[in-house]
Structure 1
């Protein structure tokens, strides 16, 4: 399997830097970045371009996208209505404390559901897909390896730049990821 398109989402000539969002970050005492890609014009509007392009962070909840696609591709998730039973552990987010299907888990950002999906996928298969997608390549372009199968996207062992993360979503939108067509269209 070959992935031709890289994860770099923006090229220097189609980026519009915009400092308007700065006031919202400042008001909330946050250091961050914001990017908006217009599919119609191909223009990126970015606040804090250096952080957007050059700083890698743990993917956290954004990894649900890739975890879901890999789960569906490998058959570990049969459909968005597949239920994973609640393990009975009471967690502070009430929406997580019940049996959930993928649709519900995605909307609730249910970490326990996605941890179970990752365990079912397994470390070797997950690593294969991360390598195939070049997911988790920091600015040094080296893929990060999975530490623990059910926490690697939460524990800083896997990092991705915001630019690369947007690249994944852009490739998904344009059907450029190496998943079965019936998977990426669900």
Structure 2
């Protein structure tokens, strides 16, 4: 499941990952579903990506966001203080929803190509991820630095065999 604030570029990341093209402007998402097969370290994964409307600090997580989900990717824009603050709230809501279950989480700072507009440093993102015991990376849909790297990093950082098995069947939701 991938969760992010509405200005984080989630739809551009999704389209770049699934279709291999950058879309600079995209209508606000209601819900789109994509599927993709990927291979990470010789292991095939079937992903179902559901791109839904972005979250904010007032959004209520439907219970379905915790059913059969085996990992979460939280996305913020490096050009938005608001998205960085909202991703913290979303993380708290996520923990409230899944309870004490240890679920793999990755924090992704998107839009790293917008150097002149950057307001959140890479170090701030890393520090937040470390405080959550989560993996971290920055991405750019425009520069085609997208989700494949995320899955490779998750595979490298999560050597737990149970997690690997779960990812094989995971439905990844783009929020």
Looking at both structures, which has the greater relative contact order when contacts are Cα pairs under 8 Å and sequence separation is at least 6? 2
**Shorter chain as normaliser: what TM range?**
under 0.3
Whose strand proportion is higher, 1 or 2? 2
Whose helix proportion is higher, 1 or 2? 1
Q: Which TM-score applies when normalising by structure 2?
A: 0.27
Q: Which TM-score applies when normalising by structure 1?
A: 0.26
